[in-house]
Structure 1
Amino acid sequence: MNAPLRVLVLWFPDWPLRAALGGPPPHPPTALVQANTVVACTASAREHGVRSGQRRRVAQGHLSSLQVLPHDAARDERAFLPVLQLIEKHAPGVAQLRPGLAVLRARGISRYHGGEAAAADALAAVLTEAGLPEVRIGVADGPFTAEIAARGPRPRTVVPAGLSKDFLAPYPVQVLRDEQIPDLLIRLGVRTLGEFTALPAIEVRDRFGERGARLHALAAGADSQPLVPRPPDPELVRSVEFETPLAGADQVAFAVRQTADGVLVALGEASLVCTEVRIDLTDDNGLVFSRTWLHPTCFDASDLVDRIRWQLEALAAQNAKDPVDEARAFGGISAVRIVPVAVDDAAHHQPGLFGSGTDERLHHAVSRVQTMLGHEGVVTAALSGGRWLADRQVLTPWGERPVAPRDPTRPWPGSLPDPLPAEVFRPPRPIGVDAADGSTISVDERGALSAAPARINGSVVQGWAGPWPIHEHRWTAGGGKKGHRLQIVDDRNRAWLVFCTGERWWAEGRYR
């Protein structure tokens, strides 16, 4: 597991109540209810026995004068957005864990203020001046430990680096907030995180699976949860509507150029750049076609226009393949909406003092080629899992996030060990593997060759190894891909990886 980050967590107690009632605590006895269940309550209500998770009737039985209000999650989000914006002005890179709980990397702000404790005091002073005196701050290795520290008895708590395990040890296992495993641990007599971490990690994994192993690492302070940037401001969204629907991709791309410039201007005014964008295309039938696009660095106006054109070309190609499917067909485009999905601080993407580096020049060159060839004209390779060579690589268009359909870290029995062939044939090429008498070699059900390989593709065989069987999905009715592999070296010192299916031989790859 990756080394945990030093993070700073800001917790605003009873935030849903503050969003509903307005103003800082103390608040009158109030409970927020959803589906007749208390989801949040004020400190004054808790003094009379009201608790989250109680049924509404039980809570009112503890306090007849309890004020009951419906819970509105969207209201919590809206009320917390100005707080995130305020924090962002003093500490860029803040992320929302949930309304009332924010996290940011501690390194930058602590170096600016001369230490983590000083940074926490500075942020607390800013928030107190803004009318948020109830804020509690925790600094630790990872968001989980920092949140526990923020919920502690002191307004500001700094857990020294590397001491998260000792800090968490006395806390009950319920702080892991899992629906099943804490209850099982309590029934087994394990009540604190310290007792949990004392159990061998291998035995925890065997007993509780991957989820238990994750919680065991979390209890030991090995928190590697990534920080996700906060949602972009809705004011960054731009859209354009056309009085007459436009049918051509180039027409739409030309018409939205000013809208794309507007998105970049709005981002620039907020000192932000966009790294992920969603484009919504509405046709004259009212159907909306949406797609999310990623960028290796950050979007400019030309990149946005290119994505819109590529999205239209993909829709036109899809419509041409299945023109009968009216549900998927689209007419002219009547509206385009550009929605920044992920943003980053513009300072992280500024060129160096003496110009851009090699990576930046490479990006611009590849992007120009992609603009000329189309979205799938430039692809990058990523490692995937699988038994066949063609399955172990995934080609992704430049700028997109590679998604491996099969986990490369899992064991793949029957897969080829390193070193792998330098050249992989997609699809496999037919090839001849013959015996000394010129007959084609076959492989029987037991995996035995009918004769020793003598010639491959007309060349003399110098050496060979195998065969090794591969039979995927043997339990299914039709079975899966199956065959027998051989490694063969010919008299031209070329090493081949070939396999036999039925009576035919195929070249899967070649060593160089």
Structure 2
Amino acid sequence: MSGGRRASAAAPGVAVPMRTMVVWCPDWPVTAMAAVAGVDPAHPIAVIEKDLVHACSATARAEGVRRGLRVREAQARCPQLVVLELDQVRVDRAFEPLIAALEDLSPGVQVVRSGVCALRSRGPARYYGSERRAAAAFLERLAMLGAPDARVGVSDGLFAADIAARLPLPGDDRIRVVPAGEAGAFLAGLPVQFTGDDELVGLLVRLGVRTLGDFAAIPAEDVRARFGEVGARAHLRASGSEGTAVVPRVPPELREVVSEFEPPLDRVDQITFGIRAASDRFVDDLREARLVCTAVRIELTAETGRMRERVWLHPRWFTASDVVDRVRWQLQGGGTIDDGLEAPVARVRIAAEAVDASIHHETGLWGTGSDERVHHALSRVQSMVGHEGVLTAVIGGGRGLAERQRLTPWGDRPDAMGGVQVGRSAAASGAGERTPQLLPARPTGATAGAERTPPWPGSLPPPVPTTVFAQLMPVLVEDAAGDTVDVTDRGEATAHPALFSPGTARSELRPVAAWAGPWPVSERWWDAEGRRSYARFQVVDADGDAWLLRVEQGRWSAEARYD
């Protein structure tokens, strides 16, 4: 191999690459769809998606058909081409028996995509005697299931192992084992197109970097500075130092339990009692697999055939009693514990929507202190008063501060619009600016999420006030002559705010020490009936109190106060 350095060891601070075994079934979409259509896989076949070739058989490639071609161009190159429409569900379903066979031979199989699986090679190599013997055992089982052309690649890291499985081998050999520590040398002579990132490849080629070895020879610091995180990850793969670990899939049988009732039950308490044993089994099976469930899907099928389903989340993880509570809350959407349901329930299915390794949720040596006590207390109250009975405050979306206050049931995911609170500052406004922003921009709990959210034009810039009034409080704002200050259609103040009163009594007017604004806000401008326009000001009175004010059609009100 020419060009580049040999990555015999990981760079300092980089995870040591894991010996990985990749099992690849060539042209699996073609094999699966040909079996569905009853077509001989040896025939020229193209599986298309959105009028483009998604995959093609070896005989079709021999005629010039390539992935990404339009159907007409592919048929022009190969007139006898058989065109099949991609059905990803059927492709995945056809691959399931092969995954199950690999799991029988060795646990811990990660499904990369349909036709490609990855395993940690250490366990199979110790059991079968070597990595090559383990790969031969896998290929023998897959050949019995209708995948005689499967190949296996073994190397340091998932990227190198995947390429080792895909590169052609001499003769009938279908196993390539790259010795430990030689992944960098194995990859060095391959073109940079193997990185799979078209934009990165274009930049590298224009810079004269043609092979993975040339790319790996560039210092990692220079790659990160020039190409960012995407380039840094590609550089690790190219040098054979990839630290990506194999993440085994969760076997489907551990993810769900089904309870069927004959005859169907029409009372909430009867159903929850009937699914209690299934809930215990559901949680115990996950525990034995060293997993916890963080999101559960519950499907209720009525006697009439109507099905209601919902995904429930949990702040930590589900216990058996938590699952029973969610079933009860979902049932109570159509009745109470004493009332009959709309229709008797014939089937309850409980499925894990999201799972995580239990090691990530282990309690610390001294417990979790107050957090754990708060969680147990809120969960117990919620189990008694219902799902909507315990609410927690989250930051929501909206231009007004009161609109941002959202109450979400304990354990539910916050509103997808939450935390959108980035807007124009006084310096950016331009119109009517008289002083810099009154308060220093300091991080607060309310603005921490806003810094990570997309901008929302017209929203309040940080820092946000600490006291938000439930209802707008009428105030007075006048100029030096005693006239009410207003905002023109062009978003400019008619005069300098000189006097301010926190109420409507003129006797309480006090001088304005500083002010900033206005910041115009236009809501629902496209709706003739619901449109609304107003402007915001920041005002500091003579006592040093800072206020967030708004003026709408000449009427002033206080929205919040900076304490």
Q: Shared fold by TM > 0.5?
A: yes
After the TM superposition, which of the residue ranges 287-296 and 393-402 deviates more from structure 2? Answer: 393-402
Following the alignment from structure 1 to structure 2, what is the Cα–Cα distance between the partners of residues 124 and 381? 57
How far apart are residue 424 of structure 1 and its match?
A: 3.6
Which whole-Å deviations, capped at 9, do the CAs of 1:152-181 have from their partners, x for residues lacking one? 6753487999x99x96993227833x7xx7
- Show CA shifts across 1:201-253 (max 9, x none): xxxxxxxxxxx999777656699999987355145422223345545544433
Residue 192 (structure 2) aligns with: 171
Matched, 1:448 2:465: no
Over residues 457-499 of structure 1, what are the superposed CA-to-partner deviations in whole Å (9 max), with x where a residue is unaligned? 3665454523322334676244755321122345665432222
Query: 1:155 — aligned with what?
Result: 177
Pick one of 364, 367, 386 that aligns with 1:374.
386
Q: Which residue does 2:224 correspond to in 1?
A: none
Shifted more, 338-347 versus 359-368: the winner is 359-368
**C-alpha separation between the residues in 2 aligned to 1:477 and 1:261?**
53
The 3 A distance-change label for structure 1 pair 485 and 34 is same
Name which one, 1 or 2, has greater alpha-carbon Rg.
2
Q: Who is 1:501 aligned against?
A: 552
The within-5 A match list for 1:73-92 is 73-82=91-100, 85=103, 89=107, 91=108
In the TM superposition, 1:46-65 aligns within 5 A as 53=67
SS, match of residue 172 in structure 1? helix
Contact 1:246 1:333 in 2 (8 A): yes
1:65-464 equivalence runs, <5 A: 72-82=90-100, 85=103, 89=107, 91=108, 95-102=110-117, 126-131=134-139, 134-140=151-157, 147=162, 151=166, 155-156=177-178, 170-172=191-193, 175-176=196-197, 230=249, 232-234=251-253, 236-243=255-262, 245-314=264-333, 331-352=343-364, 359-380=371-392, 387-390=399-402, 395-405=407-417, 408-425=452-469, 428-435=471-478, 442-445=486-489, 446-449=491-494, 452-457=498-503, 460-461=509-510, 463-464=513-514
CA distance in 1 between partners of 2:513 and 2:160 (Å): 59
Distance 2:525 2:32 in 1: 56
Match for residue 425 of structure 2? none
Which position in structure 1 is the counterpart of 2:25?
Answer: 14
Distance in structure 2 (CA, Å) of the matches to 1:6 and 1:174 = 20
Which residue does the alignment assign to 1:486?
A: 537
Task: Give the superposition deviation at 1:336.
Answer: 1.5
Give 1:12's aligned amino acid: V
Closer, same or farther: CA 355–387 of 1 in aligned 2, 3 Å: closer
CA distance in 1, matches of 2:502, 2:54: 75
What SS is found at the alignment partner of 2:413? coil
Conserved 8 A contact 2:257-2:351: yes
Displacement of 1:188: 9.2
Q: 2:432: which partner in 1?
A: none
Contact 2:523 2:531 in 1 (8 A): yes
Specify the SS of the correspondent of 1:466.
strand
The amino acid across from 1:261 in the alignment is D
User: How far apart in 1 are the matches of 2:550 and 2:403?
Assistant: 15
In structure 2, give the amino acid aligned to 1:401: R
1:455 shift after superposition: 0.3
- Structure 2: distance between partners of 1:295 and 1:168: 49
- Give SS of 1:281's match: strand
Q: Residue by residue, what CA displacement relative to the aligned partner does 1:134-157 show, whole Å, maximum 9, x if unpaired? A: 3224545xx768755764675348
Q: Is the 8 A contact 1:487 1:498 kept in 2?
A: yes
Q: Does 1:467 align with 2:517?
A: yes
Give a deviation string over 1:402-451, Cα, whole Å, max 9, x none: 353276433445443332212344x5534323548998654333432566
What residue number does 2:526 align with? 476
Q: For 1:501 and 1:391, how far apart are their aligned partners in 2?
A: 18
Aligned residues: 457
Give, in whole Å, the separation in 1 of the partners of 2:500 and 2:63.
86
Over 3 Å counting, the alpha-carbon distance change for 1:352 and 1:74 in structure 2 is: same
Matching residue's letter, 2:277: Q
**In the aligned structure 1, how far is the partner of 2:178 from the partner of 2:404?**
49
Greater mean deviation of Cα atoms: 335-344 or 131-140: 131-140
DSSP 3-state at the match of 1:405: coil
Residue 550 of structure 2 contacts residue 558 of structure 2 at CA under 8 Å; is this kept in 1? Answer: yes
The answer to whether 1:511 aligns with 2:541 is no
Q: What is the rounded CA distance, in whole Å, between the counterparts of 1:469 and 1:301 in structure 2?
A: 53
Q: 1:423 to 1:245 in 2, by over 3 A?
A: farther
Return closer, same or farther for 1:331/1:481 CA change in 2, 3 Å cut-off. Answer: farther
> Mean Cα displacement is larger for which, 48-57 or 367-376?
48-57
Unaligned runs of 5+ in 1: 23-27, 199-211, 318-328
Q: TM-score, normalised by structure 1?
A: 0.66
CA gap 1:97/1:189 in 2 versus in 1, 3 angstroms: same
Residue 126 to residue 506, structure 1, CA distance change in 2 (3 Å): farther
Q: 1:350 and 1:415, CA in 2 relative to 1: closer, same or farther beyond 3 A?
A: closer
Stretches of structure 2 that go unaligned for 5 or more consecutive residues are 1-12, 36-40, 141-149, 169-175, 219-226, 421-451
Between 1:243-252 and 1:288-297, the stretch displaced more is 243-252
* Helix, strand or coil at the partner of 2:297: strand
Q: Quick one: distance in 2 between partners of 1:29 and 1:256?
A: 50
Bigger drift between 224-233 and 442-451 goes to 224-233
Equivalent pair of 1:282/1:334 in contact (CA under 8 Å): yes
| Aligned-CA RMSD value | 5.5
1:285 to 1:383, Cα distance in 2 relative to 1, 3 A: same
Between 1:441-450 and 1:294-303, the stretch displaced more is 441-450
